[in-house]
Amino acid sequence: MTEIETNHNSHQNHHLSVRVQESDFDVSDELKALRGLSPRIGGIATFLGLVRDLNDNADVSGLFLEHYPGMTEKQILQILQEADQRWNVIGATVMHRIGQLSPLDQIVFVAVASEHRGDAFTACEFVIDYLKTRATFWKKETTPEGDRWLVTRDTDVAVVDAWQEKLGDDLS
């Protein structure tokens, strides 16, 4: 089992946590940890991604994920730091699973704590959008026709392009 945790206190002394692991996680435990960071927290926005049983019109019975240890965590931490610099983030957590997963298994969890819901929602959306295109993961689906490697979707790239246009700079 690979479990790597990177905790970073940003320039504003905010808690940013990145974990890439094979084991499942408990969303309730993660929310409790974020809530405990500061009494200033007024809201936590979350995204929980699950393995689907259908993708590109094919039944999916499994998903295998690999990553580049050390580099992937650094890439995710950079995304969190960017969100921390742009919005009022008190704390943020990203957990991403690797290894063999089945439909309905939890694959990714993003949570952002802030004083106000607007910053929490926007930062959470930013993090998951950038995670899809800027963090190095290799994904292989198992279908009745055999295994197939997945590539970054054009729609995910377009979402990041829209962020860059909206924020007025290049965040690549």
Higher pLDDT, 111 or 11: 111
Residue in this structure with the two tokens 């974990």, named with its chain if needed:
19
Residue 169, in any domain of the structure: no
Query: Does residue 172 surpass a pLDDT of 70?
Result: no
Overall average pLDDT of the 70-80 stretch? 95
Is residue 148 a part of any domain in this protein?
A: yes
Q: Considering its fold, how many domains does the chain have in total?
A: 1
**Looking at the domain assignment, is residue 167 inside a domain?**
no
The CATH number covering residue 79 comes to: 3.90.1170.40
Is 170 within the bounds of a domain?
no
Is the pTM for the entire model greater than 0.95? no
Q: Is residue 43 part of a domain?
A: yes
Q: Average of pLDDT values for 6-34? A: 84
Q: Is the residue at 172 inside a domain?
A: no
pLDDT band at 56 (very low <50, low <70, confident <90, very high): confident
Please report which confidence band the pLDDT of residue 3 belongs to, taking 50, 70 and 90 as the band edges: very low
Q: Give the domain extent around 43.
A: 3-161
Tokens of 99: 């290894």
Q: Is residue 132 part of a domain?
A: yes
Is 171 a member of any domain?
no
Q: Which residue has the tokens 């808690």?
A: 15
pLDDT tens-digit series, residues 95-150:
999 999 999 999 999 999 999 999 999 999 999 999 999 999 999 999 999 999 98
Report whether 131 contacts 79 (CB < 8 A).
yes
Q: What does the block give as tokens for 168? A: 């007025």
Question: What is the SS3 string spanning 110-129?
Answer: EEEEECCHHHHHHHHHHHHH
